[in-house]
Every structure is written in C-alpha cells, then in structure tokens.
Structure 1
C-alpha cells in the first residue's frame, strides 16, 4: 500500500498494554483519513515487550518495529521514528493509550495548512500532582519559547515529515517540537483531544521529569535557537 502517514509508538516496558495498542491502532487504520502504517520504537525494554511487538508485526502488514540496543529515552525513540519514516506525514502516540488514536483524524484535518498539529488534553485524567507539575512546566516553557502551546507534552501529534526530519533532537527536546517547527518558519496549531486514565503499566515520568528537567531543557533550547541553522533552497540543478 502507498502509505501517507506513519504513527510512531515509543515503547518502554509496556508489555501489559501492547495487545490493546494493536487492537486500537488496527481499528484506527481502518477509519484513518490517510493510508496509515505503524512503527513501534522499542526503547530497550527489559520486559517481554519485544516478543509482543514481533508477534504483532508478524500478523499485521502495516505494523513494523525498531529495537534499540539499550534504553535511550523518549526523545531518542521519537528521533529514530522520524529518521525511519518515509511517508509524507508522521505522528506519534504513547503506548499507554491515554490519548485516542481516532483523534489523529482531528489533527489530520488541519495538517494541510499547518506543519505541526498537536493535541491538547482536555479534562485530563491524571493525578493532581501530575497535572499541576505539567501545568507549571508548560508555563515555564512558554515563557522561554513563546510558542503559544498549552500542552506540548500531549502524546498525540502530526507533523509534515520534511519538517520532522530537520529537527535536531536531543534529550528532552520532545517537549519543544512546536518551538522547533517555528524555528523552521513553519506553522503550528493545537487541537483539543480526549484523555483517559492509564489502565496498565506504570508512568515513566515523575515530578523531576515534568518540572525540573524541562526547566533545564529550556536553557538547552535557547542555546539551540541561537545556533540554529535554517535555509531554503531557491534553485538546484
């Protein structure tokens, strides 16, 4: 099939979620507004996630995987997904499925005019501490980036692949994807999406990851913004 859209699914120790991931993404691929392929990126899981992933990919032709030799983090997994995407559009969703694959269609409605469309989790089903730390972290990040985004941590995004491949990723930069598209003089928009409680597995981010870590990453982003190289080719032979 001539796929147009790749969904990256970063995985780290999510053995209890993967059968549900298969079911939900297989169902979504049948209603997707773009022909869709799924790419698991196994970030060095230490449980049986890889066995589940290989079984899923063997029985579904539009499912593929990458396995890291060792755990390298969410930003690395997303970057690897971008690097191995050959479709016009790329997106990602977390394997905990706290967001709904069907909402990709809401984002895809806007990708023609915009270069990145990100979800905003409405009525979040997380703990008070998790919600507050994320809200504070987003406020800090906005003050540094001025990207106008309320929820860059939302694990539901669609990006034009040509822009995604030009993002110079480093650890923690997955929170700055809209800002990095703006550095390329691209256009971004946020769209409200559904949010659900985690029903299996354990969260990989604590208060440090959501609050103090992003604060440090803001300074890395400012350095990147100052040094970022952006150009457009006017003509070539």
Structure 2
C-alpha cells in the first residue's frame, strides 16, 4: 500500500475514480457502469464519473436512473458533442480521487481488467509512476479497423518512440494531477503515453482483453481517424521536441513524495 504522503496523518488507501466518456451509448452504458461497480470491489473505488457527450439517444435517461440508485455515480453533461478527449477531460476535472482509471462507454473494454491497471498505484508505487496503459490482446474489431490501427501504431511508434504498441486502447489508469498538467488538445487521449513520458513520468503497459461492440456504432471511420491522426502526430512530435529538460512536471509533483496521496 502506498504511504499517504507527507501531509497525511494516516496511511489510508489511495482512492480511485473511474471515468467513462459516452456518446449515444444507450445499448451499452448500463452494463459498463455496473461492470465498473462490480470490478470496484477489488480496489478502493470512490467515484464513477460518466460524461454524456451530447448524446441524442436515451443515454441521458439511463444514466439518470443509474445515478438515482448509485451514490458514487456522477454524470457530467455536455450540451453538444465535444469529442472523446473533451469528455475524458471534463470527467477527470470533476473527479476528486488522486488516481483515475478510464475506459470507453461502448462495452468493448472489459471492466474486470481495471484492477490490473490500478494495482501498480496501490502497491509500493514509485513516485514517478504516472500512467499504466492497457494493450489489447485478441482485438474484436473488423479486419479493416485492425489493419488501419496497426499501421497507425507503427507510424506513431516510429516518430514518437513511446514504446506503446496500442495507444488506442481505452483502458488506462493515471495520476490525476499529472494528467491535468498535460497540454490539452482534441484527440489528446490517443497520445497519453507519449505525453506522460514528455513530462518525465514512468509509463507501464498491461495486456487487457477486448470485446465486440454491444450496440450502436463506432464514432470514427478509418479515413477520418487517419486524416486527423496525421495532423495530431505532427503536433505531438513538435510538443515533445519543445520540452525543456530542466524541470518536468514529474520533478515538481513527484519530488519528495511517495506517490498519490489520499
């Protein structure tokens, strides 16, 4: 168990928030939330925050019903769709726990894999551990999507040298304070390993499962993802080159601490 930090009176367990971005996920969101609550019996889950990113189906109604039953569930509502990165950012800002885990709202990320991502933050975690990223094994997507993703990951890895074979996996856990110090931009969620490393944080990887989509449809096309990704890749590469190596956020946040405090 992590020490609570220099300003805490007792070594209480580090609290964990789980955030879920959702846009038109009426077919899957209830199962995802219930799966998170079930998985949360294996770690100190204190809050679940779902961002309803301008859904036009019954996602909002389903979330309201779930929130009425579960006091740990908070729903953040975007009046219009702002994108996955914006939905994640809104939920992380609303969270109060020092460790945050995230997964997609479409049901393809198994909630039972959450404990594997969170465990490194709870058991003698080094002060510089910033991110634990899931890497999908046995992806349950179409062949065209797997091929496009594989090409994009190889190109990204060659340019960014982030040591991540699957940056598109929605399952991740990280320090909330470190995340909120990252440069924010649309689609940033695809580049979290590189951005955390840029700021001096240690990044670990864990193999996780993958499921077929439970309903609805993907919000991305291969062409759309590729065009946006090419522009983002150039921008992230520039951000990494521009980092001055005197003091990083990891130096400032992790210095003199044993890890996330309660």
- The alignment's TM-score, normalised by the length of structure 2, stands at 0.83
The CA distance in 2 between the partners of 1:106 and 1:36, in whole Å, is 17
> Runs of 5+ in structure 2 lacking a partner?
1-12, 257-262
Other-structure match for 1:73: 83
Pairing of 1:115-134 with structure 2 (within 5 A): 115-134=130-149
> Moved runs in structure 1, 4+ residues, more than 3 A?
226-235
Q: Is the 8 A contact 1:122 1:192 kept in 2?
A: yes
In the comparison of the two structures, how many residue pairs are matched? 233
How many Å apart are 1:228 and its aligned residue? 4.4
How many Å apart are 1:189 and its aligned residue? 1.1
Q: Is the 8 A contact 1:133 1:210 kept in 2?
A: no
Instruction: Indicate which of 11, 14, 23 corresponds to 2:34.
Output: 23
Q: Is the 8 A contact 2:21 2:51 kept in 1?
A: yes
Q: Is the 8 A contact 1:134 1:211 kept in 2?
A: no
- Match of 2:17, SS state, is strand
The CA distance in 1 between the partners of 2:214 and 2:90, in whole Å, is 27
The CA distance in 1 between the partners of 2:214 and 2:102, in whole Å, is 19
Q: Is the 8 A contact 1:97 1:198 kept in 2?
A: yes
Instruction: Indicate which of 214, 224, 247 corresponds to 1:199.
Output: 214
Q: Is the 8 A contact 2:14 2:99 kept in 1?
A: no
RMSD: 1.9
The CA distance in 1 between the partners of 2:116 and 2:14, in whole Å, is 19
Between 1 and 2, higher relative CO (CA 8 Å, sep ≥ 6) is seen in 2
How many Å apart are 1:3 and its aligned residue? 7.3
